[in-house]
Amino acid sequence: MNNLLRRVLLSASAPVIALLFAVLVSSVVLLASGSNPIAAYGDMVTHALKLGTIVDILNRATPLYLSGVAAAIGFRMNLFNIGVEGQYRFAAIVSAYVGAQLALPGVLHVAVILLVAMFVGGATAGVAGVLKVTRGINEVISTIMINAILISGVIAALSKRWQAGGSVDATGSNAGVGTDPIPESGLIPNLNGLIEPITGEIGRGKELTGMFLVAVAVGVAYHIILNRTRFGYDLRASGVNPFAATAGGVSANRMIVTAMVLSGMVAGLVGMPSLMALGRFNPNFVSLLGFGGIAVALLGRNNPGGIVFGSLIFAFLDVSSGILQISGSASREIKDIIQGIILLAAVVAYEVVRRYREREEARLAAEALAESGSSPPFESGSTPSVAGA
């Protein structure tokens, strides 16, 4: 058990070191730019402890987590799905359109919207998988290109059509421009009713997204599939050594396509918290979550629990840095610096810990070898004919 504790501490040490290092470097940056780092961090932490801000952080962490899992599924197999960005936006617009056309009872309506989003995300990512398997096109290239097509092409074209027939509301905002609104039955209710008995009233119009629970479910499913199923084993084996996996009966091509489709299905869910909050897809729809997800997956080592940590840190920085604009203690952009440094430092720290662990294991193995005695238990000779039974 001492052993287990050691392993856990060792695993946790890398991100913690990375975080401390990032705070240190950012402090230097803040000092150099004439701000007081302690005041800035103090403002951020104080702000983050407010109930309303916690809800904001969780709302931000939910899609980041989903996006992180989407990226991690690919990473586990050495596939780089850069297309999460395009996949979730395209999935959101299609599911918003479908959701608006339907009139179904609550649960079913929500399920249809989520399934459509997953289907669209999976199908678009699957294209990249099929291209890789059949034509040898690197998935990085194809997902980037598909991103460009989906984001710029399709969405722009559709937006134009909606704009023509859409309306601008009384205040002149274009928030009303977009897909038709999804009926109430298609929207997941917020979780305020669930948590307010414990936390007290959240107030000020803040709502904890119902997708939070979906993200938890996705995380649990990811953990179980990855670590407990034959499929997850095949996936990890292919990632660690594709040649050994092939010799062990894993079909590399099938794994590539399946992993891309699964990654895309989770990516399809990334836009859902926004869609459920807005009730439609509009030009203000949240963007850049796909790239945030890659960062979060890296920080969390593609591990279901690690990504929780990564997405909470990033969400905390995203949300609580907003207070800096109001308090004036530092520039808000400091959070980008911190996020960047955390990532860099984490990559370095993970490598350091990995090497340390390898050395440690090698030492233990050498000890075990020494303990069991140096003479082999066989009546060994140097030729097979001597060693016979």
Q: Which residues bind other proteins (CB under 8 A)?
A: 227-234, 236-237, 240-241, 243-251, 358, 361-362, 364-365, 367-369, 372, 375-385, 387-389
Select 30 or 235, whichever has its Cβ closest to other proteins. Answer: 235
Q: Contact 263/125 with Cβ under 8 angstroms?
A: yes
Burial category of 85 from C-beta neighbours within 10 Å (exposed 0-12, middle 13-18, buried 19 and up):
buried
Give least dist CB 268 to other proteins, A: 24
Select 171 or 382, whichever has its Cβ closest to other proteins. Answer: 382
Give least dist CB 350 to other proteins, A: 13
Select 216 or 387, whichever has its Cβ closest to other proteins. Answer: 387
Q: Which residues contact 49 (CB under 8 A, 6 or more apart)?
A: none
Q: Please tell me the distance from the alpha carbon of residue 359 to that of residue 300, in angstroms, as a whole number.
A: 23
Q: Please tell me the distance from the alpha carbon of residue 129 to that of residue 148, in angstroms, as a whole number.
A: 17
Select 161 or 243, whichever has its Cβ closest to other proteins. Answer: 243
Q: Contact 191/206 with Cβ under 8 angstroms?
A: no
Looking up tokens 């050395």, which residue turns up?
359
Give least dist CB 137 to other proteins, A: 20
Select 200 or 388, whichever has its Cβ closest to other proteins. Answer: 388
Tokens of 189: 């209710």
Give least dist CB 252 to other proteins, A: 10
Tokens of 293: 């997800």
Q: Contact 186/114 with Cβ under 8 angstroms?
A: no
Select 167 or 241, whichever has its Cβ closest to other proteins. Answer: 241
Select 175 or 364, whichever has its Cβ closest to other proteins. Answer: 364
Which whole-number Å values give the CA distances from 379 to 142, 271, 374, in the listed order? 59, 66, 13
Select 198 or 370, whichever has its Cβ closest to other proteins. Answer: 370
Select 157 or 370, whichever has its Cβ closest to other proteins. Answer: 370
- Is the dihedral angle over the CA atoms 225, 231, 237, 242 positive or is it negative? negative
Give least dist CB 319 to other proteins, A: 36
- Is the dihedral angle over the CA atoms 161, 167, 172, 174 positive or is it negative? negative
Give least dist CB 362 to other proteins, A: 5
200: left (phi over 0), alpha (psi -120 to 50) or beta: left
Give least dist CB 383 to other proteins, A: 5
Give least dist CB 360 to other proteins, A: 9
Tokens of 240: 């660690």
Select 96 or 250, whichever has its Cβ closest to other proteins. Answer: 250
Kindly calculate the radius of gyration of the chain based on its CA atoms and give it in whole angstroms. Answer: 25
Q: Please tell me the distance from the alpha carbon of residue 132 to that of residue 253, in angstroms, as a whole number.
A: 9
Give least dist CB 257 to other proteins, A: 15
Angle between helix axes 84-101 and 252-269 (nearest 10 degrees) is: 60
Give least dist CB 92 to other proteins, A: 31
Q: Please tell me the distance from the alpha carbon of residue 39 to that of residue 54, in angstroms, as a whole number.
A: 20
Q: Contact 274/290 with Cβ under 8 angstroms?
A: no
Q: Please tell me the distance from the alpha carbon of residue 356 to that of residue 364, in angstroms, as a whole number.
A: 12
